[in-house]
Amino acid sequence: MSVHRAHATARPGAAPGASANGTSPTPVSLAPARRRIATYSDYGKAERAVEKRAERGFPVERLAVVGRGLQTVEQITGAMNRWSAASRGALSGALPGALIGWIVGLSAWVDPLIASLLLALCGLIIGMVLGAVVGVVGYGFMRGHRDFTSIALTSASEFDLVADDAVADDAGILTEEV
């Protein structure tokens, strides 16, 4: 893997990133040039390689683990309908409602423990109701699109350990020792 650094040649007095002829900006990379040191089949091995370099005093802030062969998998977790939208909304509104009620209850002058517990319970109920309403309204705006819930996962087939050019040779020597 080779990473190239763009070199900008601008006219004197030109805006930063402007090209020499002034027609279009030249991309300027702030990232240092890097070289691939090793390739690993899973992230754990790449992580261990970085840890071993850290133990040997290598400046690990000059390293990066780059995933290659990325793929996104969207695991469907269930169907979405008004009931599930309302229940998800109620669950997401319950905690903030209870927390706000409890905090307001702590400010009560007379018997703050009882007041905070009662207001937390009221906040929980109000938060659930408002959350359910927001969940159903949000589901209604979807108009039949995306009637399912899911979790998106991104995975890589390989992980490259890359190092800044200035320290790549030292990192390569440590690869042979690891």
DSSP labels for 13-75? TPPTTB-TTSSSBPP---SPPEEEEEEESSHHHHHHHHHHHHHTT--GGGEEEEEES-EEEEE
Q: Confidence band (pLDDT; 50, 70, 90) for 19? A: very low
Q: Which amino acid is at 98?
A: A
Domain residues of the chain, as ranges? 39-70+156-177, 75-152
- Closest alpha carbon to 89 in 125, 127, 122: 127
- What pLDDT does residue 22 have? 52
At residue 150's C-alpha, the angle toward residues 147 and 153, to 5°, is: 150
Under a CB-based contact definition with an 8 Å cutoff, are residues 97 and 128 in contact?
yes
Comparing 14-23, 65-74, 86-95, 117-126, the range with the smallest average pLDDT is 14-23
Please answer whether residues 79 and 66 qualify as being in contact, where contact means their C-beta atoms are separated by less than 8 angstroms: no
As a whole-number percent, the residues of the chain with pLDDT over 70 amount to 77
The radius of gyration computed from the CA coordinates of the chain, to the nearest angstrom, equals: 27
Q: Would the pLDDT of 13 be above 50?
A: no
Q: How confident is the model at residue 21 (pLDDT cuts 50, 70, 90)?
A: low
Output the average pLDDT for the chain.
78
Q: What is the arithmetic mean of pLDDT over 6-32?
A: 48
Residue 103 pLDDT exceeds 90: no
Distance CA(8)–CA(79), nearest Å, equals 52
> Does the structure show a pLDDT above 50 at 4?
no
0.85 cut: is pTM over it? Answer: no
State residue 123's pLDDT score.
87
Taking the C-alpha atoms of 78, 80, 83 and 86 in order, what is their torsion angle to the nearest 10 degrees?
Answer: 110
* Best CA proximity match to 62, nearest among 53, 75, 70: 53
Least confident of 16-30, 38-52, 146-160: 16-30
Q: Provide mean pLDDT across the span 91-111.
A: 81
Lowest-pLDDT range of 14-18, 31-35, 116-120, 159-163: 14-18
